[in-house]
Amino acid sequence: MTVQNIQSFVAGRWVDAGAQAREVKSAINGQVIGLAGGDLDVEAMLAHARTKGGPALRKMTFHQRAKMLKALALYLNERKGALYDISFATGATATDHMIDVDGGIGTMFVYASKGRVELPDDTILLDGEIERFGKGGTFVGQHVYTSLQGVAVHINAFNFPVWGMLEKLAPSLIAGVPSIVKPATATCQVTESCVRMMIESGLLPDGALQLVTGGLGDTLDRLAAQDVVSFTGSADTALKLRSNPNILRNSVRFSAEQDSLNASILGPDVQVGSEEFDLFIKEVHREMTVKAGQKCTAVRRIITPEGLVQPVIEALSARLAKTTIGAPKVEGVRMGAVVSGDQREDVLAKAAIIATEAERVYGGQDALQVVGADAEAGAFVNPTLFHCADPDTAVKLHETEAFGPVSTIMPYRDLGHAIELANRGGGSLVASVITRDGAVAREVVQEAGAWHGRLYFNNAESMKDSTGHGSPMPHMVHGGPGRAGGGEELGGIRGVKHFMQRTAVQGSANLITAVGKRWVTGATEITKDTHPFTRKWGELELGETFNSPLRTITMDDIEHFAQFTGDTFYAHMDEDAAKRNPFFPDRVAHGYLLLSFAAGLFVEPNEGPVLANTGLENLAFQKPVTAGEAIKVRLTVKGKHPRNAEYAEVRWNVTITNQDDEQVAEYDLLTMVAH
């Protein structure tokens, strides 16, 4: 068998495994299949990211980075078959490949979409609304996010060599921060293949992505305040890394997503034979066997009503007995091996610890049967199910995780007891509850939410669309408190902000308008001879303003609007009732009548560049208007956002005031305008 030279990609070139290279072995037969790592020029690697990759990415807008990420995802998607093929040696089945490879590529697509939709076509991201510090409105504040000017070091676990990398790479690229990827040695050949594809695509700026397949050397000792470390793996390794004196001294951002004792609770309302009971068994079985139980989100503790322990044991054991274990390429195999012989020994050692407080009710190595491979030479572990009759007195059970196909059933007396057991894990990435009862769901959220990064509820109503207990989605945060690491990954744009700095910017309304490219009330208003609706997107300026004439609101207007729309609410129609209302002095005009008249006051009716009104946001009414009063409108260009080659979005600030210049209402109007 040819031994692969698993290279690193450092400072723009591929580097062979050196004298200190580490062996990579097949999980199926234990043979050496590759050599990884070796000599590493850390200073050159960091300098390349900081002086080449970072500046290049920061010159790109969020939209440009998002387009680049989408193109990269499409490129990988066309070549994912090669990643499937190389993954078999890690012990993963075809289904496991899809979770890892397709899941990672899917995460890139999600971030590419969110980058285009939720972020501006700019390099600065505004955070929240303007803060005003004085009555005059001339001095204001705005929180902003800007790209960190360092490098993101991603240290990943062995179980997801593709998804684990791409889930961190996607948000860091959108944020404009270059990355150094460090996969676990046991599966680094898969990561190397994926990185090679991305580099060969030519889509990434030089220095945006580097790869270390061996040890990081003294990289952590050389990081500075603008750098980030993102880690996935064991709590022990996370503690060692985050305790690095240089990391502490320079306040280097450190985020950990650690293996945890995740739990699944069978709700007290569920009965044997119900759809929910079958769903619970299916979910637990999947989490025990997918990736041979090597998922940071896998179910380790199965929390069951006292009266249903035996039915759960029987149903889960029957399902496990039908799971064929063996070489992943063999037809019919549903579970492969753990990634290495060392990992197998670690799983068995942890299972032995659990056995001191629980009874084995299914599995064990003595019952292992393997198809298409040698059970001794390969890193195969038989799914093993334990039962702990007294989880209250158990200690090791709530502290020990066998990172493989090993789970423990434990009974609970009532929902409060179930929550207590789930929380005894000391913090987890996810806890799931199978229930139809909304009161159960609320109590779990209230009492368990503080201990779990994600709470997953499922039942017959949602099971067809549900994503699964063990599947973190890129739209929502992935992490957890305590034992789970205390960090967060993913979470949509929240994940992007992890690689950015939030800064409070204070200054005049004009300066803050220039910084954020969003017009701020109090900044200069530009008045031109022609209506702004007659100018194309590229011709409009921030602050460009149209002021309408006054229009008087009559009682006939109010009554006609009420009859025409059917809105005959008493405040508009009944004088006595309106006066009894503490908010109104008399019969008042409908809020939507004011909006309609406002549109009539500011609109330019002739055909022109304005193509469509796509909505309004942040609507607020400040003062009622009665018959005999008048209103006028100020329409100001607040923001400009490109959409495609034909048209772009203009955000207008609209304020309605009365005849005494008192503000009646305010909102943002969104329109699509031709280029």
Question: What confidence score (pLDDT) does residue 1 get?
Answer: 62
**Residue (of 62, 111, 5, 68) closest to 208 by Cα position:** 68
Distance CA 496, CA 517 (A): 20
Question: What confidence score (pLDDT) does residue 370 get?
Answer: 87
Given a cut of 80, whether residue 137 has pLDDT beyond it is: no
Distance CA 292, CA 274 (A): 28
Top-ranked range on mean pLDDT: pick from 16-25, 140-149, 570-579? 140-149
Interval 242-251 mean pLDDT: 93
- pLDDT tens track for 401-411: 999 999 999 99
Given a cut of 80, whether residue 134 has pLDDT beyond it is: no
Q: Which residues contact 437 (CB under 8 A, 6 or more apart)?
A: 267, 268, 269
Given a cut of 80, whether residue 451 has pLDDT beyond it is: yes
CB 472 within 8 Å of CB 262: no
Question: What confidence score (pLDDT) does residue 317 get?
Answer: 94
Interval 391-409 mean pLDDT: 93
CATH no. of 263-461: 3.40.309.10
Q: Where are the alpha helices (DSSP H) in 78-178?
A: 80-87, 94-97, 103-118, 163-175
- Between 299-303, 465-469, 529-533, the lowest mean confidence (pLDDT) is in 465-469
Q: Where does the chain hold its CATH 3.10.129.10 domain(s)?
A: 525-674
- Phi, psi (5° rounding) for residue 310? -65, -45
Instruction: Out of 3.40.1310.30, 3.40.50.720, 3.40.50.1470, 3.10.129.10, select the CATH number for domain 525-674.
Output: 3.10.129.10
Q: Which residues contact 404 (CB under 8 A, 6 or more apart)?
A: 292, 293, 294, 338, 343, 344, 347, 351, 381
Q: Where does the chain hold its CATH 3.40.605.10 domain(s)?
A: 4-259+495-501
The CA-to-CA distance between both ends of the chain, in Å, stands at 61
Going by pLDDT thresholds of 50, 70 and 90, the confidence category of residue 467 is confident
Q: Where does the chain hold its CATH 3.40.309.10 domain(s)?
A: 263-461
331 given a catalytic annotation = no
Distance CA 253, CA 505 (A): 22
Q: What's the fold here for domain 4-259+495-501?
A: Aldehyde Dehydrogenase; Chain A, domain 1 (3.40.605)
Going by pLDDT thresholds of 50, 70 and 90, the confidence category of residue 519 is very high
Question: What confidence score (pLDDT) does residue 88 get?
Answer: 87
Integer CA distances (angstroms), 366 to 87, 99, 318, 381, 468, in order: 28, 30, 18, 10, 31
Tell me how crowded residue 152 is: count the other CB atoms within 10 A of its CB.
Answer: 26
Distance CA 509, CA 373 (A): 71
Question: What confidence score (pLDDT) does residue 214 get?
Answer: 85
Interval 263-271 mean pLDDT: 94
Catalytic residue, candidates 192, 283, 287, 296:
296
Given a cut of 80, whether residue 20 has pLDDT beyond it is: no
Tell me how crowded residue 623 is: count the other CB atoms within 10 A of its CB.
Answer: 14
pTM of the predicted protein model: 0.90
Catalytic residue, candidates 257, 401, 544, 629:
257
- pLDDT tens track for 54-89: 999 999 999 999 999 999 999 999 999 899 988 888
Structure tokens, 473: 């989605």
**Taking all residues of the chain, what is their mean pLDDT, rounded to a whole number?**
91
CB 194 within 8 Å of CB 201: no
Tell me how crowded residue 666 is: count the other CB atoms within 10 A of its CB.
Answer: 17
Distance CA 58, CA 178 (A): 10
**Residue indicated by tokens 């050159």:** 44
257 given a catalytic annotation = yes
Distance CA 365, CA 43 (A): 47
Structure tokens, 434: 């199978």
**Residue indicated by tokens 């019969």:** 587
CB 213 within 8 Å of CB 8: yes
Given a cut of 90, whether residue 499 has pLDDT beyond it is: yes
CB 308 within 8 Å of CB 272: yes
Interval 242-265 mean pLDDT: 91
Given a cut of 80, whether residue 230 has pLDDT beyond it is: yes
